[in-house]
Chain A
Amino acid sequence: MTPEEVVVAIKDIIETIAPDEDVSNLDHTERLRDQIDLDSMDFLDIVMELRKLYGAQVPEEDYKELATIDGCVSYLHPLLADKELHVTAKV
């Protein structure tokens, strides 16, 4: 997966978790929670989807790395580099 595909992957997961939100115009540097309605249970869902779709394990102490889209790319790209992109929701 390329860094661009990691963005697609994370937006797809967010759209599944928060289906009322528009993810198309998310600022990549701003905190996700400041842009859309996401709570701690949603973050656990994001972590669960990463585990289910890509076998990626994100330990609790690293959750903070997922605060922004850019943060997700930096943290997840090494974990997902050899994974295929799965898109479930419509991005």
Chain B
Amino acid sequence: MVELPRVVITGVGITSPNGNDLGTVRKNLLAGVSGVQPYEIRYFGKTLAGICDFDPLRYQKKKEVRRGTRAGGVAIYCANEAVRDAGVDLSRYDKQRVGIYPGVTEHGNVETENEVYNVSQYDYDLRFWSHHHNPRTVANNPAGEVVLNLDLRGPAYCLGGACAAGNLGLIHGAQMLQLGEVDLALAGGVSEAIHTFGIFASFASQGALAKHDDPTRASRPFDKDRNGIVVSEGGCLYMLERLEDAEKRGARIYGELIGHRINSDGTDFVLPDPAGQNACIRGALASAGIEPDEVDLVSTHATSTPSGDVAEVTAVREVFGDCEGVYVNNTKSYIGHAMGGAAAIELAGNLPSFDDGVVHPTINLDQLDPECEVRNLVANEARDVGAVRTILNMSFGMLGINSAVVIRRFDP
């Protein structure tokens, strides 16, 4: 077998409904702080959403914000933060060899809805349709906006993978480093989903949109009273480097991507299939060359839908049911579902476990659904488990796409 270069995470740029830097996100995960708020959107009306409050003008001019998209803004914020966090001086790199790989659930719905609304104000006269529509809606938009903002020249495009996309970005970035296509990869996922009424309306029509009197308690994976998804925005981009390069420059290493797997259920447009998820998890472990009991923490996708959670727990139980030391948590209970950004955000919040040995809990678990019972589910209160060396981060999406990455603590 070909020996591929090892790839490590050396920087994290994140904006989540519960924090705009990893330190704040982690603090809020340990303290049970949600980021879900009341929200209102055109046509749909009042609902709930996970909303980010990063300052777009920190890294963009007002004109860039006006001209660009929210997903582009999220990506630019995360990319700049990741570069800064990694301590990388981009001027010392060949601009052609810096790759930008954000995962997206979709892109263009927000901008298209806005434009249709805009022309509706002018009796659908298409002379009022903006020339910005095409550059805003092309599938590489968030990545391309990062390129323009950071003045780069390398490969920059998005990985479209429904709600599995955050892992896809990470995996693709690592592969491009391993192939020698780039020397730095900014990879992960982004979401502007709360700005499209369509996603709320579609989940509502599907009977899969969360409702609760208290917004902070609406997203409640594995709880008996869970009733659906809270839609969120946000993103996380990682600075990825080959281990050799990272060590050469004395970079801080958050962890190493030691395994991954992407596969498909092939069974349904919407409903997940435990068999497909199971194969994905086992594939990721096999690619990492580890057994299930070598995983310390399973970060579940856990959307808080009645059927999705059961399917996922079924898959997790089958793989890890016999393992005593495997802990399970999720992040959507705090921030809702950040779509293309979800997997990347969720992994980030767990990375500090490598340092402190603490597993943040899933919150809002008042009454466990017996069908979601899984060994070592860390519920409502953080647990000090001593040491966390290996994290499995899972993310699944519509049309049956599954993804899993295995990240290992870096011990020089």
The answer for the CA separation of A20 and B132 in the assembled complex, in Å, is 19
B131 touches A41 (CB 8 A): yes
A51 touches B66 (CB 8 A): no
Pick from B122-130, B165-173, B270-278 the stretch touching chain A. B122-130
Nearest Cβ on chain B to A76's Cβ, whole angstroms: 18
Nearest Cβ on chain A to B55's Cβ, whole angstroms: 15
A52 touches B122 (CB 8 A): yes
Residues of B within 8 A of A42 (CB): 63
Interface size on B, residues (CB 8 A): 11
A18 touches B63 (CB 8 A): yes
B42 is an interface residue with CB less than 8 A from chain A: no
Within 8 A of A (CB), among B114-155: 122, 127-128, 130-132
Nearest Cβ on chain A to B392's Cβ, whole angstroms: 45
Within 8 A of B (CB), among A27-77: 37, 41-42, 44-45, 48, 51-52
B67 is an interface residue with CB less than 8 A from chain A: yes
B61 is an interface residue with CB less than 8 A from chain A: yes
A41 touches B132 (CB 8 A): yes
Nearest Cβ on chain B to A33's Cβ, whole angstroms: 14
A19 is an interface residue with CB less than 8 A from chain B: yes
Residues of A within 8 A of B131 (CB): 41, 44-45, 48
**Quick one: which of A18, A20, A44 has the most chain B CB within 10 A?**
A20
**Quick one: which of B61, B63, B67 has the most chain A CB within 10 A?**
B63
A51 touches B61 (CB 8 A): no
Binary contact readout B195-217 vs A (1 if CB under 8 angstroms, 0 otherwise): 00000000000000000000000
B46 is an interface residue with CB less than 8 A from chain A: no
The answer for the CA separation of A49 and B222 in the assembled complex, in Å, is 51
B62 touches A20 (CB 8 A): yes
Question: Are A19 and B63 CB-contacts (below 8 A) given A51-B127, A52-B128?
Answer: yes
A48 touches B128 (CB 8 A): yes
The answer for the CA separation of A19 and B56 in the assembled complex, in Å, is 14
Contact of B61 among A20, A45, A52 (CB under 8 A): A20
What total of A-B pairs shows CB separation below 8 Å?
A: 24
A19 touches B128 (CB 8 A): no
A20 touches B63 (CB 8 A): yes
Residues of A within 8 A of B66 (CB): 17, 19
B67 touches A51 (CB 8 A): no
Residues of A within 8 A of B132 (CB): 41, 45
Nearest Cβ on chain B to A56's Cβ, whole angstroms: 12
Within 8 A of A (CB), among B81-135: 122, 127-128, 130-132
Nearest Cβ on chain A to B260's Cβ, whole angstroms: 39
The answer for the CA separation of A48 and B67 in the assembled complex, in Å, is 14
The answer for the CA separation of A17 and B128 in the assembled complex, in Å, is 16
B130 touches A48 (CB 8 A): yes
A51 touches B63 (CB 8 A): no
The answer for the CA separation of A17 and B131 in the assembled complex, in Å, is 13
Within 8 A of A (CB), among B54-74: 61-63, 66-67
Nearest Cβ on chain B to A66's Cβ, whole angstroms: 16
Closest A-chain residue to B60, C-beta based?
A20
Residues of B within 8 A of A45 (CB): 131-132
Question: Are A41 and B67 CB-contacts (below 8 A) given A20-B61, A52-B122?
Answer: yes
Can you list 24 A-B pairs, Cβ within 8 angstroms, ordered by A?
Answer: A17-B63, A17-B66, A18-B63, A19-B62, A19-B63, A19-B66, A20-B61, A20-B62, A20-B63, A37-B63, A41-B67, A41-B131, A41-B132, A42-B63, A44-B131, A45-B131, A45-B132, A48-B128, A48-B130, A48-B131, A51-B127, A51-B128, A52-B122, A52-B128
The 8 closest A-B pairs by CB, nearest first: A19-B62, A20-B61, A44-B131, A20-B62, A20-B63, A18-B63, A19-B63, A52-B128
Kindly list 7 other residue pairs between chains A and B, CB separation below 8 angstroms, not including A37-B63, A48-B130, A51-B128: A17-B63, A19-B62, A41-B132, A44-B131, A45-B131, A45-B132, A51-B127
